Amino acid sequence: MCQLLGMNCATPTDITFSFRGFSQRAGITSDHSDGFGIAFFEDKACRLFVDNQSAVESPIAEFIRNYPIKSRNVIAHIRKATQGKITLENSHPFVRELWGRQWIFAHNGDLHHFHPRLSARFTPVGNTDSEWAFCYVLDQLVQRFGYVEPTLEQISEALTQIAPSIAEYGTFNFCLSNGQALFSYATSKLHWLVRAYPFKPARLIDLDVEVDFSTVTTVEDRVAIITTEPLTQNEAWTAYVPGELIVFKNGQPVQRSVTHVQRLKREQENPALIRKTKADQY
């Protein structure tokens, strides 16, 4: 399985501390070594770095660990491919433009028999179920709102319907952002926390590194971190309830909702039917 890392902040913040620990899992503390990607929003646009080398060995990842890029919305992904090619086109996060904004998506999990019809407005470049799901999510948003940009509340409400409908097909943990907010959803595993004033020291799990955030922050700072597995050993991480959608804005959750996921009956009745339908599931 892959791992996700998201960050949503009240003020532009660099993610180097969290990314250093997270990227250790790409070959040192874990084996998610089949490529990585990270996207940093600046207003409506974003910088997206992807590589089909591991986040431990990639010169691009090394560059990111040492070059603090400040952003209010960041999504990163390290990959463990169990099937399919390790190519650039299959590397998360994926990007598309909608309503004059970049949209960024990364997925952890796998979907079975998931190949809904797409409108061709958004077409996968690679052959992962993840990018297909991303295109489907954006298609559904356009179907609901047309080309008049909806509010964040309307987008959140739509996602509480769209996400569970995809989760019927398997494991569906994701981070999605349009630069205004970070939408996150989990059916199996995702954790979050908020760092805010008064800040405290944090110690990484994957690397012998501690940062005392009280020495590098101001009262205005507030940072939400979303990750598959907790990154620090001395902070209180909250696990997502299965089916939970959390929308983060300005470094804090602004909406939390849990929706029931109805697994496909035929799979429950006959597990042999479960098969990977796309070349690359992670």
The answer to whether 19 contacts a copy of itself (rule: CB under 8 A) is no
Using the rule CB under 8 A, is 267 a contact of a copy of itself? no
Among 83, 123, 233, 268, binds a copy of itself (CB under 8 A): 123
- Give the separation between CA 233 and CA 202, rounded to whole angstroms: 8
Of 1-9, 121-129, 167-175, 218-226: span binding a copy of itself (CB under 8 A)? 121-129
CB of 2 to a copy of itself, least distance (A): 18
* CB distance 247 to 152 below 8 Å: yes
Residue 40 and residue 130 in contact, taking contact as beta carbons nearer than 8 Å: no
Minimum CB distance to a copy of itself smaller for 99 or for 237: 99
Interacting span for a copy of itself (CB under 8 A) from 42-50, 182-190, 202-210, 265-273: 42-50
Report if residue 89 touches a copy of itself, rule: CB under 8 A. Answer: yes
- Of 11, 27, 30, 47, which lies in the binding site for a copy of itself, with binding defined by CB under 8 A? 47
55 is a contact residue toward a copy of itself (CB under 8 A): no
Site track 194-233 with a copy of itself (rule: CB under 8 A), x = hit: ----------------------------------------
CA distance linking residue 194 with residue 276, whole number of Å: 36
DSSP-based three-state secondary structure for 238: strand
Where do we find the tokens 């907790």? Answer: 230
Buried b (16+ CB within 10 A) or exposed e, 154-177: ebbbbbbebbbbbbbbbbbbbbbb
198: preceding bond cis by omega (within 30 degrees): yes
Q: Which is nearer to a copy of itself, 128 or 232 (CB)?
A: 128
Q: Which is nearer to a copy of itself, 98 or 211 (CB)?
A: 98
| Cis amide leading into 93 (omega within 30) | yes
Stretch that binds a copy of itself, among 46-54, 196-204, 218-226, 241-249 (CB under 8 A): 46-54
Q: Is 120 in the site for a copy of itself (CB under 8 A)?
A: yes
Count the Cβ atoms, other than its own, within 10 Å of residue 138. 22
Q: Does 14 bind a copy of itself (CB under 8 A)?
A: no
Number of H helices, E strands in the chain: 5, 15
Question: Which residue, chain included where needed, has tokens 């035929």?
Answer: 266
Active site residue 2: yes
Q: What are phi and psi of 94, to 5 degrees?
A: -100, 155
Q: Which helix (H) or strand (E) holds 268?
A: helix 265-269
User: Are 244 and 185 in contact, with CB atoms under 8 Å apart?
Assistant: yes
Binding mask 125-144 for a copy of itself (x = CB under 8 A): xx------------------
Q: Contacting a copy of itself (CB under 8 A), which of 28, 95, 194, 258?
A: 95
Told to check if 97 binds a copy of itself by CB under 8 A, we report yes
The residue ranges that bind a copy of itself (CB under 8 A) are: 42-51, 59-60, 63, 67, 87-89, 91, 95-102, 120-126, 147
Q: Which residues are catalytic?
A: 2
